[in-house]
A and B are shown apart, each in its own frame.
Chain A
Amino acid sequence: MRRIAAIAAAKATAALSQRLRMGGGTALPGLVAERVDPHIVPEMARRLGQGSVIVTGTNGKTTTARLLRGIVRAAGLRPVANRAGSNLMRGIATALAQAAGLDGGFAGAKRRLGLFEVDEATVPEAARALRPRLVLFTNLFRDQLDRYGEVEHVAAVWRDAVRTLGGSATVVLNADDPSVAALAQAATGRVLFYGVEDTSRASEGLEHAADARWCSSCGSELVYSAVFYGHLGHWHCPTHCRVARPSPRVVATRIEMEPEGTSLMITMPGGEVSARLPLTGLYNAYNALAAVAAAVALGIESEAIERGLGSFTAAFGRQERLTVGGRRVQVILAKNPAGLNEVLRTITADGEEKDVALFLNDGIADGRDVSWIWDVDFDLLAGKVRSLTVSGNRAWEMALRLKYAGLDTPSEVEEDTATALRLALRATPEDGNLYVVPTYTAMLQVRELLARWARQPAFWETS
């Protein structure tokens, strides 16, 4: 009885908040449902005929989960998924409550698969509640240290979560990330590694001292023969302990960057998949690879994987493209140094001058500590920007960082988001491309403005 009340309350809240335009109603309904019945998530998750999948990691959760959703659909399953960034327990509860009927069951329950992107720190709680059949760990970067504590702490939380999964769950791990690969030691069930083999994309050493990683077994500094981005690459421990990157079963053998996308060749036991994605940047190649690895672990055929990848459109704020006032605007979320470095590298890859707007906020969802921008290589932009607009409530901190990168005078420093966005659009020639790179809360503001200006529906109606 209580469960029915919870689901009804959640559904009512969702409908109401959507009508009141309270931000899409992605978390509030779940909060209501959990308040009425705290057991709602485990009870409902149990009724998903295909079980649940958790996708977690610092960078790429949303895009990876979205890619996997397309694949799962192509395989004839019906995913129940939380939406765009609502990755705490209440976001999961909301998704379940909205997908269920009033009796708490699912229509077509046999083909229902839970597919949830989960915040790094929420993994233990989500794993307990969902009892997932598969957990995918993408990467572990320094991100918002003030919110999560420390990288080492997150790794320990994940290790404990993996240990409690039970032997029937599969763990899918990025072999190229030493901290993620080390989780295999805690797994009691099946482990599947994925990784990049195409070393034409690699540089030789780590870019920053901050990227250095230490051996999980003996503590020595790891050595890299190839680095793809941040600390992801081909690594090994130089000492007698011989800990090294495990050889992955799902492998990107060819990655080709194109101006508007990426083409990929991925091989796996008994098959291969090729795909063209409307996403640029090596980090997106990793996202696709991660989604394919999870699909392989779920037993999905390569033909369905290929079709699923083909159906992909970008999530809001993740390289979504809009046209506003004749300018093509691309919004690319950035929230930590490794991610932003890749974004800058992608934007400047063709060597032509670009129009760029950077938005730096310090809200809780952005990370209140903005010092991470000092670990970003803004030097990549030097000589490659036609106009540069800097905004957000930390605009002046960003302007100072850019001064240090040799970009002496950003065209505009304007703390107000709407004003800055107008200035950036005005500075971009008609038919030109404007690259908007915001932190999380800035992205929400930017997206809403652009959507309004482009007469596009708000983001919760498009995903």
Chain B
Amino acid sequence: MELKLRLAHLYPKLMNIYGDRGNILCLERRCRERGIGFEVTELGLGEKMKPKEHDLVFIGGAQDREQRRVAEDLVKEKGKALKEAAAKGVVILAVCGGYQLMGRYYRGAEGEELPGVGVFGLRTEHPGPGAKRFIGNVVVEWQGGTLVGFENHGGRTHLDDGVEPLGRVVAGFGNNGDDGGEGAVCGNAYGTYLHGSLLPKNPRFADHLIETALRRRYKDLEMAPLDDRVEEMAHAAAVRLATRRGIISV
């Protein structure tokens, strides 16, 4: 049986804050270099998702206006399939706006509420138009090492009791700037505020996602090591910049 990673990319045209493209490029490259096939299905507004046909689901970040359009479609057209996929152990990576919409709800700056899919037990609330945005470089201590990225969000995310964050904030704000948590993990679903093309410069996290996604169908999967010298240099530089300068909010 030929190895192949089947990726569902949700709303590529609407949810594509800078760098989301890099996440897809990274998954593809790291599969291909190992001789693993790679297939992307792009799912836009109105398109149904078939939970059995994907190993990994990616949803990126968006600007406010796009987020509203997506929220409605996500719940109505794809919500059930996403929960089913999550229950079956399909890997989900939800970044920034996508992360917020995978929670129970998102309450915007003006108090308007967008219902979420509920893959993650969490809620996100924007404290109001005057509130400080959490902007800057982030370093997170994750079980597999450090993660580096850039965050830019007004919403504060609070995890329900019993839900684990993806990691602990070393530099930056994370979920809410208060409890030191960043992102969320529920089974094989990962949510995070880290964009800035998260995966290319966090190759170990990228491999963790690929491996977890494929293990469901290929039990004796071997992940060959790749030449990650440039990746590790970029990772190290990002850690250095974020921790040396501290975090600047604008």
Contact of B3 with A by CB under 8 A:
no
Q: How far is the CB of B22 from chain A (nearest CB, A)?
A: 3
CA distance A265 to B233 in the complex (A): 49
Known: A221-B13, A362-B241, A368-B136. A400 touches B18 (CB 8 A): no
Residues B200 and A396 in contact, CB atoms below 8 Å apart: no
Known: A210-B21, A397-B238. A369 touches B150 (CB 8 A): yes
User: Across the two chains, which residue of chain A brings its CB closest to B231?
Assistant: A400
Residues of chain B within 8 A (CB-CB) of A212 are: 13-14
Residues B18 and A151 in contact, CB atoms below 8 Å apart: no
| One of B50-58, B61-69, B77-85, B175-183 contacting the partner | B61-69
Residues of chain B within 8 A (CB-CB) of A399 are: 230, 233-234
| Residues of A in contact with B, size category | 35 or more
CA distance A280 to B137 in the complex (A): 35
Residues A368 and B248 in contact, CB atoms below 8 Å apart: yes
A396-417 CB contact bits vs B (8 Å, 1 = yes)?
A: 1101110110000000010100
User: Across the two chains, which residue of chain A brings its CB closest to B150?
Assistant: A369
User: Across the two chains, which residue of chain B brings its CB closest to A395?
Assistant: B237
Residues of chain B within 8 A (CB-CB) of A151 are: 63
Residues A210 and B16 in contact, CB atoms below 8 Å apart: yes
Our pick among B29, B69, B196 for the contact of A370 (Cβ within 8 Å) is: B196
Residues of chain B within 8 A (CB-CB) of A369 are: 18, 135, 150, 152, 196
CA distance A182 to B100 in the complex (A): 30
| One of A141-149, A266-274, A297-305 contacting the partner | A141-149
Known: A209-B13, A404-B200. A371 touches B22 (CB 8 A): yes
CA distance A344 to B21 in the complex (A): 19
CA distance A209 to B16 in the complex (A): 7
User: Across the two chains, which residue of chain A brings its CB closest to B23?
Assistant: A374
Known: A145-B152, A396-B230. A371 touches B63 (CB 8 A): no
Residues A371 and B234 in contact, CB atoms below 8 Å apart: no
Our pick among A209, A219, A375, A393 for the contact of B69 (Cβ within 8 Å) is: A219
Contact of B17 with A by CB under 8 A:
yes
Residues B135 and A404 in contact, CB atoms below 8 Å apart: no
CA distance A362 to B237 in the complex (A): 12
Residues A374 and B241 in contact, CB atoms below 8 Å apart: no
Residues B152 and A146 in contact, CB atoms below 8 Å apart: yes
Q: Within A211-257, which residues are at the interface with B (CB < 8 Å)?
A: 212, 214, 219, 221
Q: How far is the CB of A441 from chain B (nearest CB, A)?
A: 14
Q: How far is the CB of B201 from chain A (nearest CB, A)?
A: 6
Q: Within A146-174, which residues are at the interface with B (CB < 8 Å)?
A: 146-147, 149-153
Contact of B223 with A by CB under 8 A:
no
Our pick among B63, B195, B200 for the contact of A400 (Cβ within 8 Å) is: B200
Contact of B1 with A by CB under 8 A:
no
Residues A152 and B64 in contact, CB atoms below 8 Å apart: yes
Residues A374 and B237 in contact, CB atoms below 8 Å apart: no
Residues of chain A within 8 A (CB-CB) of B12 are: 209
Contact of A208 with B by CB under 8 A:
yes
Contact of B25 with A by CB under 8 A:
yes
Contact of B19 with A by CB under 8 A:
yes
Residues A374 and B234 in contact, CB atoms below 8 Å apart: no
CA distance A153 to B67 in the complex (A): 14
Residues A372 and B19 in contact, CB atoms below 8 Å apart: yes
User: Across the two chains, which residue of chain A brings its CB closest to B241?
Assistant: A393
Contact of A186 with B by CB under 8 A:
no
CA distance A396 to B229 in the complex (A): 10
Residues B64 and A374 in contact, CB atoms below 8 Å apart: no
CA distance A141 to B236 in the complex (A): 31
Known: A375-B19, A404-B29. 13 other contacts (CB 8 A): A146-B250, A147-B250, A149-B133, A152-B65, A210-B16, A214-B65, A337-B18, A371-B197, A372-B18, A394-B241, A396-B233, A400-B234, A404-B25
- Going nearest first, the 7 A-B pairs with the smallest beta carbon separation are A371-B19, A374-B22, A371-B196, A371-B18, A396-B234, A400-B234, A150-B63
Give B contacts to A, CB under 8 Å: 12-14, 16-22, 25-26, 29, 63-65, 69, 133, 135-137, 150, 152, 195-197, 200-201, 230-231, 233-234, 236-238, 241, 248, 250
